[in-house]
Amino acid sequence: MSARVLDGAKIRDEIQGELAGEIAALKARGVTPGLAAVLVGENPASQIYVRSKVRACEVLGLYSEKIEWPAFTTTEKLLGLVESLNRRDEIDGILVQLPLPPQVNARLVLEAVDPAKDVDGFHPMNVGRLVSGRPGAVPCTPAGIIEILKRSGIPIAGARAVVVGRSEIVGKPVALLLLHQHATVTICHSRTRDLAAVGREADILVAAMGRAAFVTGDFIQAGATVIDVGINRLTTPEEVRKAFHDPAGPLKQLESKGSVLVGDVQPEDVRKKAGAYTPVPGGVGPLTIAMLMSNTVRAARERRAGGESGTHRLPAAGNA
């Protein structure tokens, strides 16, 4: 029996369908949720991501602004921009696209965002809320992973979850979200001893380290659910041959399109060993933008209601 594919695009459409009703209700009260996306420099991947986010706003009828500044922009200039966006009432969410150029102090810029408008969930106040299980903005990709698991009927409570990668954007927050859902969670990283053996203990394996096809079948327990967060663009035949057991098809794609996308999980192995998995592309990626839209809509609603800062509410979780 082949592994079940967890279709991120289908789940994204479900979430956007639910958001449409919330947006209509807000507009009936004269409120159009607004998102400002700040892009500094000319990173091609960042340009694609921001375009996708603005397009999603257009599809759902949200107000959006794309603010593009040159790569030589200073930290001080960006701080001034963020402060001006904090003051604007029609802007409910502020997204500062990462990575920022090296001369910019990214931490200072992210901490300058009003926590109530921090739809990426990166502000220390929202991070603290996530740690303590209180309401607050949750980073979009981790929130999307939880939606994939829940909406696909994957049991989380009592499951053994292993997260490979400890980034502030994905690894740490998704581990906390899984813990709040009563999973037993292990976080792995480059210095974890016998990493593959730890991975094989997982009922839910989340790969988020940014290394193409790094997680092979040796990491996967038969029947496990594998969530592949990686998006790695291969541009040479050598990279393709290293990532795929049978590279014939991907090499043809490389020749025709100039690149091949692969996740952090070896795609042929996961199809053979997993019980369910997210493909790349089409798995976690669509949910990241869907949760950004969700966070923006909820920020608009909560700001107008005078509620607590933040958007994505964590489900109740016990301490036992």
Residues 187-205 have pLDDT tens digits of 999 999 999 999 999 999 9
Count: domains in the chain: 2
> What pLDDT shows up at residue 17?
95
Distances (CA, A) of 270 to 108, 221, 232, 280: 40, 10, 16, 11
In a domain, 289, yes or no: no
> Same domain for 90 and 158?
no
Q: Which of 16, 92, 97, 228 is catalytic?
A: 97
Distance CA(320)–CA(317), nearest Å, equals: 9
> Same domain for 100 and 165?
no
In a domain, 298, yes or no: no
In a domain, 135, yes or no: no
> Same domain for 151 and 101?
no
In a domain, 5, yes or no: no
Q: Which of 16, 53, 117, 221 is catalytic?
A: 53
Distance CA(267)–CA(243), nearest Å, equals: 9
Mean pLDDT (the chain) is 94
Beta strands in 97-249 (DSSP E): 160-164, 184-188, 204-207, 225-228, 232-234
> Same domain for 266 and 166?
yes
What's the whole-model pTM score? 0.92
> Same domain for 95 and 148?
no
Which CATH number belongs to the domain containing residue 54 in this structure?
3.40.50.10860
Distance CA(211)–CA(32), nearest Å, equals: 40
> Same domain for 95 and 222?
no
DSSP letters for 306-318: T--S-SPPPPP--
Distances (CA, A) of 99 to 40, 44, 196, 210, 252: 9, 11, 30, 14, 31
pLDDT in tens, 65-118: 999 999 999 999 999 999 999 999 999 999 999 999 999 999 999 999 999 999
> Same domain for 248 and 172?
yes
pLDDT in tens, 225-279: 999 999 999 999 999 999 999 999 999 999 999 999 999 999 999 999 999 999 9
Q: Which of 114, 118, 120, 269 is catalytic?
A: 120
**pLDDT > 70 in the chain, percent:** 95
Helix and strand element counts for the chain (H, E): 12, 11
> Same domain for 145 and 40?
no
Q: Beta-carbon neighbour count of residue 178 at 10 Å?
A: 24
> Same domain for 155 and 275?
yes
| DSSP 8-class letter at 217 | G
> Same domain for 71 and 205?
no
Average pLDDT over residues 50-79: 96
Range of 63's domain? 19-117
Active site residue 266: no
**pLDDT > 90 in the chain, percent:** 90
In a domain, 265, yes or no: yes
In a domain, 9, yes or no: no
- Alpha-carbon 242 to chain mean position: 26
In a domain, 292, yes or no: no
| DSSP 8-class letter at 1 | -
Three-state DSSP class for residue 207: strand
Active site residue 242: no
> What pLDDT shows up at residue 44?
86
Distance CA(114)–CA(94), nearest Å, equals: 8
Which CATH number belongs to the domain containing residue 171 in this structure?
3.40.50.720
In a domain, 245, yes or no: yes
Is the model's pLDDT at 317 over the cut of 50? no
> Same domain for 267 and 160?
yes
Three-state DSSP class for residue 179: helix
> Same domain for 178 and 258?
yes
Residues near 32 by beta carbon (within 8 Å), at least 6 away in sequence:
26, 61, 62, 63, 90, 300
Active site residue 10: no
